């Protein structure tokens, strides 16, 4: 495996939106690496969340860490330039939501952002066949998109192993990200299956004791578990 550095990307979907800037500051101070930003449109998925204005507000608040935008919207292309302007670092989208997947990838890159493709639990990995080398990351969903707090779907482990092999064969520095149901007690097997970038929402923001002691313990437990697998 030609793995990249470990990235813990808390999904702010489970943060307290009434004090979002503070929540993001705290989780980054606790050792998290990226901010995972879930965009839902009540169309591609049945939930409605946050858009470019909130991304821009986090940048204006002083957040300098990478903002990892996960678009669960249809159509995709219209909103890409807005997120680039709002300070997104990477923009990932679902192939089912774009009529022209290759074009959307180029569009994201032309705006100076990293491009990611997101595979739902039932999406075949063959969708990567002609675009993998153009991507900066592949995001595998280990739940169906739309809500935080769901359980990890075990078939994602086998899918991780297969996509890991493809990335390794490509010889490129493409991140392999996992999203959905990632916890301190299953992150080791997820890392062993080949993920290097870990989204966790409820496990971090709803961690027992975090309201009193902050997010340091849970982020450390996750990083230690991954490091033990990689050692
Ligand atoms: C689901 C989102 C996830 C979600 C993860 O559609 O893409 O990022 O917030 O939440 P947990 O970690 O609670 O499963
Ligand atoms: Zn997500």
Long-range own/partner contacts, residues 219-223 (CB < 8 A, 24 or more apart): 219/8, 219/10, 219/27, 219/30, 219/31, 219/32, 220/31, 221/184, 222/8, 222/184, 222/187, 222/198, 223/6, 223/8, 223/31
Residues 224/203/52/83 CA torsion (nearest 10 deg): 40
pLDDT of residue 104: 98
Tell me the domains of the chain and their CATH numbers. 7-230 (3.20.20.70)
Nearest CA-CA partner of 183 in 60, 8, 27, 1? 8
pLDDT of residue 1: 61
Beta carbons of 121 and 156 less than 8 angstroms apart: yes
* 204 CA: nearest ligand 1 atom: 12
pTM of the model: 0.98
From the candidates 33, 38, 68, 136, which is the catalytic residue?
A: 38
From the candidates 41, 68, 179, 196, which is the catalytic residue?
A: 179
Position 2 pLDDT exceeds 80: no
Report whether residue 114 contacts ligand 1, using a CB cutoff of 6 Å.
no
The predicted-structure confidence for 97-110, as pLDDT tens digits, reads as follows 999 999 999 999 99
* 182 CA: nearest ligand 1 atom: 12
Query: Cβ neighbours of residue 19 under 8 Å, at least 6 residues apart?
Result: none
Q: Based on the residue annotation, tell me whether 134 is a catalytic residue of this protein.
A: no
State the Cα–Cα distance between residues 215 and 222, nearest whole angstrom: 11
pLDDT band (50, 70, 90) for residue 3 = confident
pLDDT of residue 76: 98
Q: Indicate which ligand has the atom closest to the C-alpha of 10.
A: 1
pLDDT band (50, 70, 90) for residue 147 = very high
Position 16 pLDDT exceeds 80: yes
């Amino acid at each position: 495996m030609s793995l990249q550095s470990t990235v813990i990307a808390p999904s702010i979907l489970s943060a307290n939106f009434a004090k979002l800037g503070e929540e993001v500051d705290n989780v980054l101070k606790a050792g998290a690496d990226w901010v995972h930003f879930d965009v839902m449109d009540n169309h591609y998925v049945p939930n409605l969340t946050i858009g470019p204005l909130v991304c821009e507000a986090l940048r204006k608040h002083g957040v300098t860490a990478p903002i990892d935008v996960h678009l669960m919207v249809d159509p995709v292309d219209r909103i890409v330039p807005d997120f680039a302007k709002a300070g997104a670092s990477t923009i990932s989208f679902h192939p089912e939501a774009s009529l022209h997947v290759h074009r959307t990838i180029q569009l994201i890159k032309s705006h100076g952002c990293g491009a990611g493709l997101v595979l739902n639990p039932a999406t075949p990995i063959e969708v990567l066949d002609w675009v993998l080398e153009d991507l900066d990351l592949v995001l595998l969903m280990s739940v169906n998109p739309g809500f935080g707090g769901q359980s990890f779907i075990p078939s994602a482990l086998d899918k991780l192993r297969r996509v890991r092999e493809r990335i390794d064969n490509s010889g490129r520095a493409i991140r392999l990200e996992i999203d959905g149901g990632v916890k301190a007690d299953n992150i080791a097997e997820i890392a062993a299956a080949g993920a290097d970038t870990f989204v966790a929402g409820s496990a971090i923001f709803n961690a027992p004791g975090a309201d009193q002691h902050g997010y340091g313990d849970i982020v450390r437990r996750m990083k230690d578990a991954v490091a033990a697998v990689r050692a």
